[in-house]
Amino acid sequence: MSRKRAIRWTLCYAVLVMLAAVFFVLELVTGSAKLSVSEVLNALTGNGSSTSASTIVRNIRLPRALAAALLGGALSVSGFLLQSFFSNPIAGPYVLGISSGAKLTVALSMMLTMKYGILLNSAEMVGAAFVGSMLSMGAILLLSGRVKNMAQLIIAGVMIGYICSALTELAVTFADDANIVNLHNWSMGSFSGIDMDNVKVIAVIVLAASAAAFMLSKPMGAYQLGESYAKNMGVDLKLFRAALILLSSILSACVTAFAGPVSFVGIAVPHLVKTAFGTAKPIIIIPASFIGGAVFCLVCDLIARMLFAPVELSISTVTAVFGAPVVIMAMLSRRSQKGSA
């Protein structure tokens, strides 16, 4: 029977990688300027004769595609970590208000620094977002000690998200006119405007944090049985919990810093991946969620760009349309299992 599972997992991985490749290429070739695959290839390898195509691909589309893939992966892994932490399949950085917390601190620091004519660099943006993530996370952790019911926890998270968003709106209202456009676009969520330097920072943070999350697969698997069993197996609970919180916050902070808050990916993708793979084993699901998140965000970004081109939709508009129903599905499937048990 384990052979059957191995085949299923291999197949699923193959499909995911293929989808990622296909949508990555699509992201590069589609746009207001239609380019052929060979033109894109030439632009990438640097043999391009057409300089405008080369510029478009190398400066705009490639960083955007890479960002969508990396940040999508980061969101999904972050979601999966939070789901493990709270033993709750509908936990994620967006619904728990962690993305909104990051949004608030990033907006505030952007406005403050712009006032003095300073532009934040990538690392500083991530730092600001991380502070906000940890603040929201702290609030959630405080509340989670009091609420035993997972639905209450989610509601608390959504409320924290609303508070942070309201504060962000308030801050934006009083911002200088010049800043508003900038802030407004960013706070709606988008993969546009990310350059290659940003991508390098993103890649370092996201890949390192995801690799670290992967190394936590073993204790995460034990933790799925519950605290007491995990402890009996020799898991250092304090250290493990701290690592989960830190990694999921870094990942979602990175996303918010560069793309603004992106909704529901963190819940929808792990749920879909777990369903497809038929397991929740972290060692399988963490890499699969990463690739799945990349695919999901590439597809959503394509739709955001192309559906009403040249008008671009915010990325959260699209991820919500596809993600929110999956979240509802995840909730229903959980309920039916509880009922039958």
* Residue 132 backbone dihedrals phi, psi, to 5 degrees: -65, -40
Q: If binding is defined by CB under 8 A, does position 341 make contact with another protein? A: yes
Tokens 């399949």 -> residue: 89
If one counts every other C-beta atom within 10 angstroms of the C-beta of residue 4, the result is 9
The minimum distance between CB 15 and another protein, in angstroms, equals 19
Residues 230 to 269: which contact another protein by CB under 8 A? 231-236
Q: Which one-letter amino acid corresponds to residue 154?
A: I
The minimum distance between CB 209 and another protein, in angstroms, equals 17
Q: If binding is defined by CB under 8 A, does position 339 make contact with another protein? A: no
- The distance of Cα 10 from the centroid of its chain, to the nearest Å, equals 24
CA atoms within 13 A on the CB side of 110: 27
From the list 59-67, 184-192, 219-227, 312-320, the region that binds another protein by CB under 8 A is 219-227
Nearer residue to another protein within complex by CB, 30 or 279: 279
Q: If binding is defined by CB under 8 A, does position 276 make contact with another protein? A: no
From the list 56-64, 116-124, 196-204, 271-279, the region that binds another protein by CB under 8 A is 271-279
Q: If binding is defined by CB under 8 A, does position 30 make contact with another protein? A: no
Nearer residue to another protein within complex by CB, 35 or 327: 327
From the list 34-42, 152-160, 276-284, 290-298, the region that binds another protein by CB under 8 A is 276-284
From the list 61-69, 96-104, 109-117, 216-224, the region that binds another protein by CB under 8 A is 216-224
From the list 23-31, 116-124, 257-265, 333-341, the region that binds another protein by CB under 8 A is 333-341
If one counts every other C-beta atom within 10 angstroms of the C-beta of residue 10, the result is 10
Q: Exactly one of 15, 152, 166, 278 binds another protein (CB under 8 A); which one?
A: 278
The minimum distance between CB 40 and another protein, in angstroms, equals 37
The minimum distance between CB 216 and another protein, in angstroms, equals 10
Q: If binding is defined by CB under 8 A, does position 274 make contact with another protein? A: yes
Q: If binding is defined by CB under 8 A, does position 329 make contact with another protein? A: no
Residues 74 to 133: which contact another protein by CB under 8 A? 87, 89
Tokens 């802030």 -> residue: 183
The minimum distance between CB 225 and another protein, in angstroms, equals 6
Binding site for another protein (CB under 8 A): 1-2, 87, 89, 215, 217-218, 221-222, 224-226, 228-229, 231-236, 274, 278-281, 283, 337, 340-341
